[in-house]
Amino acid sequence: MRASSGTLFDNRPAPLHIGGGVRQGSLSRDGRRLLNSAPSEIPSEDHSATLGLPFRAAVDPRVPYTDTGEPGLDGSTPQFTLDKYLEASAPVVLADGVEARLIEAETQLQAGDLTSMTSTLNGIRQAFPDLGLVDLAEPGTQAEGVDLVFAERAFWMFATGHRLGDMRRLLRPIPPGYGRLVDSVFPTGTYIKGGAYGQDVNLPIPIEERNNPNSQGCLDRNP
């Protein structure tokens, strides 16, 4: 489940229908970079080169989707429908016991206790026998432990709005972050629709705020 390079994002988007709406990577280059790595998107490719998590190829029941076999609104990019939310009005979990156990596992990771961390992650999987998830092997290094925890967070909390925050936490200095380089977490290079990815690692300021004469903008654009 962990990407071979240890990086933890998806960077090749396809239009995605959720209920009656469409979410598609269609902002400016910086904005595209963010949407393309958002947890609510299932990309047409799982990862570019050695980067990314295989949200589609993993065939993981935590990321249910339908391959429509049709292009999206642009007429060319393959479209995959996320089946996690069948209606536009479907509720989104804000916090639950699974997230609490994931936080517990990350605390054990930060303490260097990879055995307890793995046991906690497997306990979550075992609590949902109908999903048919096999137990995870204990990672051999601390860096692999980080990969494992954040990959499990990505799959368990897919399409709940946590992914961007997790990716930013990976960039922050140690502690409380994990000190990873931006190019090992966020996509870089040529964007699938042309142009290049931008440098932002956070959401762009809405135009409504930029037009507000009282707005001073962000203090910084750091993760």
Residue 68: the pLDDT is 92
DSSP 3-state of 51 = coil
Least confident of 68-77, 102-111, 140-149: 68-77
Could you read off the pLDDT of 7-53 as tens digits, one per residue? 333 333 333 333 322 223 333 333 333 333 333 344 444 555 456 78
Residue 151 has pLDDT above 50, yes or no: yes
Identify whether 103 is part of a domain.
no
Tokens 């135009």 label which residue?
A: 207
Range of the domain at 57: 16-92+159-210
Who wins on pLDDT, 6 or 210?
210
Identify whether 203 is part of a domain.
yes
Could you read off the pLDDT of 81-136 as tens digits, one per residue? 999 998 889 999 989 999 999 999 999 999 999 999 999 999 999 999 999 999 99
Identify whether 98 is part of a domain.
no
Could you read off the pLDDT of 173-216 as tens digits, one per residue? 999 999 999 999 998 888 878 888 888 898 888 888 888 888 88
Residue 2 has pLDDT above 70, yes or no: no
Contact 11, 37 (CB under 8 A): yes
Query: 145 vs 44, 98, 141, 142, CA distance in Å?
Result: 28, 18, 6, 5
Beta strands in 72-198 (DSSP E): 78-82
Average pLDDT (138-162) is 96
CA dist., res. 166 & res. 163, Å (int): 5
CA dist., res. 191 & res. 5, Å (int): 20
| Torsion angles phi and psi, residue 190, rounded to 5 | -80, 130
Provide the phi-psi class of 220: left if phi over 0, else alpha when psi is between -120 and 50, else beta: beta
Residue 163: the pLDDT is 93
| Torsion angles phi and psi, residue 78, rounded to 5 | -55, 140
- Return the closest-CA partner of residue 2 out of 60, 44, 42: 60
pTM: 0.77
User: How many domains are contained in the chain?
Assistant: 1
CA dist., res. 65 & res. 69, Å (int): 12
Identify whether 42 is part of a domain.
yes
CA dist., res. 17 & res. 129, Å (int): 29
Contact 61, 129 (CB under 8 A): no
Identify whether 149 is part of a domain.
no
Residue 191: the pLDDT is 82
Average pLDDT (71-79) is 88
Identify whether 97 is part of a domain.
no
Residue 47: the pLDDT is 55
Contact 48, 11 (CB under 8 A): yes
Contact 92, 160 (CB under 8 A): yes
Contact 71, 140 (CB under 8 A): no
